[in-house]
Amino acid sequence: MTMADGRYAIGAMALARSLAAVSDVPLLVLHTDPYTPRLLRHLSNVSTLKVEPINNPHNHGQSRFAGTFTKLRVFELLDYDRITFVDADCVMLKGIDDLFEREGFWAAPDWGTELHIAFNSGVFSFFHRKG
């Protein structure tokens, strides 16, 4: 799963293509604008889902962080057993299928901080326990 609006939809294209090269796991792209689905409709491994934005009260004066909190909508998607979120400015160099076999919450470390304090919200994976 990824979040892509505006110029990040181009990144989602690259992410989708790189993912298709290493895995058969489809990519669900969350978006808040009407343009993202049109830009990605030619990719067979991509589906899109419109979500309501969540404003970021802590964007540190940088517009690129304005929609960061919207990615939290992934925790509302209860129809999935496991969700692996990858920022749209990433590419897959090797398969990530092993993340779908794990229990619990997994995330990339935020370099420069202690892992027990912070993680990088650009890559995380979690398991929904149903019932």
Which residue, among 26, 37, 43, 30, has the nearest Cα to 3 in the 3D structure? 30
Q: Using one digit for the tens of pLDDT, what is the confidence trace for 108-128?
A: 777 765 656 667 778 888 987
> Which stretches of the chain are DSSP H helices?
8-22, 36-40
What is the rounded end-to-end Cα distance, in angstroms, of the chain?
Answer: 23
Domains parsed from the chain with CATH numbers: 2-127 (3.90.550.10)
Separation CA 82–CA 126 (nearest Å): 6
Separation CA 129–CA 123 (nearest Å): 20
- Mean pLDDT over 57-75 rounds to 76
Average pLDDT of the residues of the chain: 86
Q: Using one digit for the tens of pLDDT, what is the confidence trace for 67-101?
A: 778 988 998 998 888 899 999 999 999 988 888 88
Could you tell me how many helices (H) and strands (E) the chain has, helices first? Answer: 2, 6
- Computed on alpha carbons and rounded to an integer, the radius of gyration of the chain in Å comes to 15
